[in-house]
């Protein structure tokens, strides 16, 4: 069997409302559902959950050399301004 698609991506955020607005306005995501603890978005034909997390949580990681990596990067259609390198470089991008 082969994987046919990634089902869901979970991204930690500190403010669900601000984060959902940012993903909709800056990345063109479609808001499907939102409550106090999460927002569910359709982002690039993939389900993305913005999950309320404690301050300082990120979806990034450091490799064996100590270099930080983003767990999600993107290819942009047309001109895009609003992030540095990764889509979810921590809780600052949208929350």
Structure tokens at 7: 């089902």
Kindly give the residue spans of alpha helices, DSSP state H, lying in 1-95: 16-27
> What pLDDT does residue 83 have?
47
> What pLDDT does residue 36 have?
96
> What pLDDT does residue 3 have?
84
> What pLDDT does residue 54 have?
95
Rg (CA), the chain: 14
Which stretches in the chain have pLDDT values below 70?
Answer: 76-95
> What pLDDT does residue 91 have?
42
> What pLDDT does residue 77 have?
66
Contact 30, 59 (CB under 8 A): no
Contact 87, 27 (CB under 8 A): yes
> What pLDDT does residue 62 have?
92
């Amino acid at each position: 069997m082969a994987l046919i698609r990634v089902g869901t991506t979970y991204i930690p955020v500190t403010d669900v409302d601000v984060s959902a607005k940012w993903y909709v306005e800056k990345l063109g995501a479609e808001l499907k559902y939102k409550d106090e603890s999460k927002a569910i978005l359709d982002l690039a034909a993939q389900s993305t959950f913005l999950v309320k997390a404690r301050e300082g949580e990120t979806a990034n990681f450091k490799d064996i050399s100590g270099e930080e990596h983003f767990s999600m990067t993107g290819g942009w259609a047309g001109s895009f301004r609003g992030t540095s390198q990764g889509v979810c470089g921590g809780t600052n991008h949208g929350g």
